[in-house]
Amino acid sequence: MPVAQTFLGLGTNLGDRTAQLASALSALTDYGVVVARSHVYESAPMYVTDQPAFLNMCVQFDTDLAALALLATLKQIEQDCGRVQTFRNGPRAIDIDILAYDALIIDTPDLLVPHIGMAERAFVLAPLADIAPDWRNPRNGLRVIEMLDQLGSDGISLFGSLP
């Protein structure tokens, strides 16, 4: 299979958050190449607000895994990094979402790509703008920087970078 250019969003709000991100990044290298990575941003939780703040980042990840195989791999990496399923939008040791897979629109019961909630989440768009400001979302035709401009970046702040 040819190499697919993907964008992944990583988030964590439990334990040593920077170590969680670093562990997930390390695990990804067994399945492809991390071509670019964003700064790390801190954000207040959305939807379920009674939980710790999140650290979020995005990576460009090139892989030869098919989209559904990538999803299964990411779920396994999450488990290996200590994620325990609790409740929707609850706290987590690590969360890895497929934001984009090439320029494809994928609508299956298990996977919606580009990520359906991307345009309403500054904690996704700000780090994605670090590495792919001109990437165009095939669902709405907007570039990352345009979606971020429309949404604004309230509630997130630059945390730093991973070593």
**Where in the sequence numbering do the catalytic residues fall?**
83, 92, 95, 97
CA distance 118 to 123: 9
CA distance 80 to 84: 10
CA distance 9 to 94: 10
Q: Mark residue 82 as left, alpha or beta (left: phi above 0; alpha: psi -120 to 50; beta: remaining).
A: left
Contacts of 107 (CB under 8 A, 6+ apart): none
Helix, strand, coil share (%) of the chain residues, nearest 5: 30, 30, 40
Which string of DSSP letters, residue by residue, matches 97-149? EEEEETT--EE-SS-EES-TTGGG-HHHHHHHHHH-TTPBPTTT--BHHHHHH
